[in-house]
Every structure is written in structure tokens, then in C-alpha cells.
Structure 1
């Protein structure tokens, strides 16, 4: 699991982090890339979770089952860091490869819903 406790510093920029299981997240990344809506995405080094950087304040109202949204560092500069803002993480989609500075919460919610339906449908075909 991506750990935001103590791994965020002032260089991290203001962002919240939506964390999801890796399979679900990878499907959502593909969907968001097709729609030109993906922001920077982190992965933990065990390959268990992905984390989507979203605008600050998202954690206040995030309630999507199967995911968590954590406030990271609310008082930092507006720039997205070049180094991952979470200890023990790496970039799946680095800031320079992202289409947006952060993934829009509504677009992420829709992509995660579509990803869940895709995974469920694939499970039924097996």
C-alpha cells in the first residue's frame, strides 16, 4: 500500500492521492489515457497498489468503495514533483508523461467504475 505517512515533503506539491488495487488501477489508467485525462500515477514497489494524484480537497468527499483517498501535503507549492511524493513509490505515469497535472476526480471515478465492470465481465468469461 502506498504510504503517505512521513513520505511527503514540502516539495510534493498540493495533491491528494487516490489509492486502488493494481489491476483496477491499470485498467483505469488505460481508460483515462484513451480519454486524454490521466495525471501522474504512482505504483508501490510490491506491485499491489496504484495511486492517482488528484487535486487537493478530493479526500474530503471521496467515498468510492474499493479505494482510499488521502490528503497528502496541503500547504506546498503548486508544482508536481519530479520525484515521487510518496516514500517507497515509483512513477507509473510520471508528471512529464501525464496529460494533466492531476487526474480530475469525476473522470477518475468514472474510469474506476468502467474498470470494475471490465474486470467483472472478464471474470465471467473465464
Structure 2
């Protein structure tokens, strides 16, 4: 099983499902898809969730990332229930865009994610003529 740095909660683990605490950086889908492409090219993308409606993507990152995360247009929060117990991954209404077993890394390293999201924002701005 790939060690993604994220815990699945109750029940038996299945192949490729995270099994330790983690946090989740959530971004709008378009921004996230650009960042996934950038990270894949650099062989540094970890597991990525997408919501059922396709409006957001969530990058699994190591615990402690939320403390210093301040990138506009994104949110970083612990992936656990209010009880403090880990959440089941993927949560209801979401699925894997990059499943743990297909990810290039266990979690996405925060500095690389920040750089990819910044590059993605510049790419989107340039495509919209607002470079």
C-alpha cells in the first residue's frame, strides 16, 4: 500500500488508500487541473480528490501544512471529523482524480504545490488575456 500520509478512518484498508493523518488543500477545479498537470510533469503529484460536481480539487498534503498555508484562492484544513477522528477518504460526494495507487508521491509537498498553483494562476491569466 502506498503511504500517502492520510488516514482512512474506520473499516479495513483497501489497496492504495491513505492510512495516516493528513490535510487537504482545496482549490477551484480549473486552477487545480492546471496545477495537477504541472506537478505530473515534475513527477511530484500526490493523491488528488475531486468533488462530485467538479467545482473543486483537493490535494493531500502532510500534517502541519495548514498552519502556514496562506495562498489566496485556496484553503488548507485538516482532513478529520469534528470528533478528531480521521475522515474516510474519499469522502462521500468525491472521488479520486489522482488515486493514491497512481500518485507519484505519498502526499504533495506543500512548497511544490504552492509553486504549481502560482504557475497555474499565471497560465490561466495569460490564457484569458490578463497576463
Q: Give the structure-2-normalised TM-score.
A: 0.79
1:40-119 equivalences under 5 Å are: 40-73=47-80, 84-119=89-124
| Structure 1 vs Structure 2 CA RMSD | 2.2
1:62 CA drift (Å) = 0.5
Q: Is the 8 A contact 2:49 2:96 kept in 1?
A: yes
Higher relative contact order (CA 8 A, sep 6+): 1
Alpha-carbon distance in structure 1 between the residues aligned to 2:10 and 2:77: 16
Structure that is richer in helix per residue: 1
Q: Give the total of aligned pairs.
A: 113
Q: Flag as ranges the 4+ runs of structure 1 deviating above 6 A.
A: none
Q: Could you say what secondary structure the match of 1:107 adopts?
A: helix
2:125 paired with 1:120? yes
Q: Give the structure-1-normalised TM-score.
A: 0.82
